Structure 1
């Protein structure tokens, strides 16, 4: 606009400036974030009994190992183990496999060190893990790998497109990393950190979990119905029907609603304390829907149909309408879940002690969660379009 030149089409312009996207993330955003975080960590005192480096490294390393296992299927299909073995001037499959899992463990441990204070629930941990996995796609195969292989760095969108399968793999790795980290971290707290018996629960853990499952299932019905309109228009329902040996849209619709209900139930359990208002519920649900686009139609569905995992640009292009459907599904499910949860909680919070406890469990203001939302949604939606 300042140069008063004719603007090229938006997609071509975005592809032209893809190298600047990589450089802004790696050379500006990452150093700025690390320095700001380091400075803020010295201004706020954290209790050494609840957050420790040992806990972050061990839990994060184990979670990274599981994430590396989920990522390994792409490595097998594309002979990538041989490629990364070249870092040590080797062509051994064993060397490449060991190096892959070592890197996965190191990234997982660094996730624990960097995000231990931001992970408040398994749901938010999944989103943090997804963001960290996407970041490592820029830092790993696009930057560090060619450097270690003594090759020039190409930050063009064509080079990025050649690693599109790795992009989805990093997303799946991050999702598993975040989920397993949150579960193991909770187990660590239960086993090694003493709880205070005076801080009573509002309800029994079993009752609260069942209610969260119920609210998530009910909320997913509306999201699933909205999503089904897109699936009907794009002809995806017969493919879902093939899971039960049928071929018509109606059985596919039934399968779709069952899957939607299961995903909604998992949302209720994973995000029960993250939704503080309608805006937050909308975004957390949207992020969860985006995560399921990576692990659902691109990963789990091909496995259920007995075909190889389709982490390719062609598959992603075909499933772009499904990406929109997952986002709409997640956002609507999150909002309705909040409504159902509030209806139940209103009468429980009459007791000020119980209200204070619930306030402690909710994500406070001033956290970097909005930056996480922008980062994941921006890259998760735009990159499949640009690289495709």
Structure 2
């Protein structure tokens, strides 16, 4: 244990003072956005006024209080900017639901509808809350003396080269397959590639968790590049209106895929480097055991269960004949066969990529749901239309029309993760620390809980909930 660990963080009080300071930083960013959007009077209504300066003061007071709560919660997590970033995003989105859609109407005397129209009208607030959460989390981590290790450990030429190489590979694949649909993404991908290993290289993780982390990372970059810098450069101001957001969703799928691809390739390059250049075999992997071919069987069975559940969704919206066309067949029966085969294949991939990650039913469902969302973007919106020979379903109208597929993929992923976790626990329950492997499994479970994994699960679910809101303005 280091001396700094004994002394504790810079700000005591279980993180509340540091959280309040970080919340003030996040409030300044959110306030600057509201100045550009002209929405400060909406906050001033809480004080019975319409003056922008009163709205700014109220925003700062609220930001400090909400930041202090974040500090209290985050003080129990592992203090790292790479971990807290996703907690901050999830926290900011949570406060959009609780604050903007719930408390603000109640306190201002307007009807609280929780309707699609109300959510669409509050889209600018959604992205402002995401910025607030991200800035608050990063500043809080820096106040806990986390930032010093980032520059020391991650600013290395090979780290930057790995990110650039991953960005080049992923960007090249997307450019060949999507072309003009990418917008600024090829250039942004270089920054994404440098940024990912710079922030996340400190963790050695499997491909599965990296894909989930990368998908959320791509969503963050879509907000920064696609929704913020693009309108600022084109018009000199922010434009987070319904129409602008719906138009920008055309680039949302490729940003998500770019983030997931960069994360996966960075992990593969890191594994290759460790295999080639690291002599200590203990540093090459952190796996806690293998089950051989049994994992494949578990994945196929879990995928079958999830596929049956998903198949009823397909049947309800009459999509099974379209699924059959993937192999040149027709009819519901052929659609069922093709769908279940695909479901089992994805289930096997999940079992291999997330082996040993489902320490309990909650983590199993969390990883499975997140993987299902990724496959909605990668499979439902990209591979399926490409296989059918039609344009990719990356436009707002086609994304909106694919809402049933989103629900089906989430249900499939949740069932897949739950069944696989149950099957794994029947054979090798993590809570029985009978040997070193089981003790390592229990320690890994605690490490996962204290990291960003639960935040990634929550954030993925919240992103899935807001996708229909973002595309409804098309």
TM-score (norm 2): 0.70
Residue of structure 2 equivalent to 1:233 = 316
Residue of structure 2 equivalent to 1:306 = 389
Residue of structure 2 equivalent to 1:21 = 126
Residue of structure 1 equivalent to 2:117 = 12
Asked if 1:262 corresponds to 2:366, the answer is no
Superposed CA offset, 1:355-386 (max 9, x none): 23434554613112222222222123312333
Alpha-carbon distance between aligned partners in 2 of 1:322 and 1:164, rounded to the nearest angstrom: 17
Q: Is the 8 A contact 2:247 2:396 kept in 1?
A: no
Alpha-carbon distance between aligned partners in 2 of 1:36 and 1:209, rounded to the nearest angstrom: 43
Alpha-carbon distance between aligned partners in 2 of 1:237 and 1:256, rounded to the nearest angstrom: 8
Shift in alpha-carbon separation, 1:55–1:212, aligned structure 2, 3 A: farther
Residue of structure 2 equivalent to 1:62 = 165
Shift in alpha-carbon separation, 1:277–1:75, aligned structure 2, 3 A: same
Alpha-carbon distance between aligned partners in 2 of 1:105 and 1:348, rounded to the nearest angstrom: 43
Q: What pairs up with 1:123-138 in 2 under 5 angstroms?
A: 123-138=208-223
Alpha-carbon distance between aligned partners in 2 of 1:283 and 1:13, rounded to the nearest angstrom: 28
Deviates more, 1:172-181 or 1:222-231: 172-181
In the alignment, which of 355, 362, 373 is matched to residue 457 of structure 2? Answer: 373
Q: Is the 8 A contact 1:209 1:269 kept in 2?
A: no
In the alignment, which of 231, 246, 254 is matched to residue 146 of structure 1? Answer: 231
* Per-residue deviation, 1:278: 0.7
Residue of structure 2 equivalent to 1:92 = none
* Per-residue deviation, 1:33: 2.0
* Per-residue deviation, 1:309: 1.2
Residue of structure 1 equivalent to 2:379 = 296
* Per-residue deviation, 1:168: 1.5
Deviates more, 1:309-318 or 1:290-299: 309-318
In the alignment, which of 398, 409, 425 is matched to residue 326 of structure 1? Answer: 409
Q: Is the 8 A contact 2:171 2:186 kept in 1?
A: yes
Residue of structure 1 equivalent to 2:467 = 383
Alpha-carbon distance between aligned partners in 2 of 1:69 and 1:217, rounded to the nearest angstrom: 32
Shift in alpha-carbon separation, 1:134–1:201, aligned structure 2, 3 A: closer
Q: Is the 8 A contact 1:120 1:363 kept in 2?
A: no
Alpha-carbon distance between aligned partners in 2 of 1:270 and 1:119, rounded to the nearest angstrom: 14
Alpha-carbon distance between aligned partners in 2 of 1:340 and 1:15, rounded to the nearest angstrom: 42
Q: Is the 8 A contact 2:227 2:245 kept in 1?
A: yes
* Per-residue deviation, 1:24: 1.9
Q: SS of the counterpart of 1:2? A: helix
Alpha-carbon distance between aligned partners in 2 of 1:313 and 1:200, rounded to the nearest angstrom: 41
Superposed CA offset, 1:236-271 (max 9, x none): 110111122221110111100110011001101111
Kindly indicate whether structure 1 or structure 2 has the higher relative contact order, using CA contacts under 8 Å at least 6 residues apart.
1
Q: How many equivalent residue pairs?
A: 364
Q: Is the 8 A contact 1:121 1:270 kept in 2?
A: yes
Alpha-carbon distance between aligned partners in 1 of 2:451 and 2:119, rounded to the nearest angstrom: 30
Structure 1, unmatched stretches of 5+, are: 85-99
Deviates more, 1:182-191 or 1:250-259: 182-191
Shift in alpha-carbon separation, 1:233–1:379, aligned structure 2, 3 A: same
Residue of structure 1 equivalent to 2:366 = 283
TM-score (norm 1): 0.84
Shift in alpha-carbon separation, 1:192–1:349, aligned structure 2, 3 A: farther
* Per-residue deviation, 1:172: 1.6
Q: What pairs up with 1:1-388 in 2 under 5 angstroms?
A: 1-8=106-113, 10-26=115-131, 28-40=132-144, 42=146, 53-72=156-175, 76-78=179-181, 80=183, 84=184, 100-118=185-203, 120-149=205-234, 151-196=236-281, 208-346=291-429, 351-359=434-442, 361-362=444-445, 364=447, 365-388=449-472
Alpha-carbon distance between aligned partners in 1 of 2:463 and 2:282, rounded to the nearest angstrom: 44
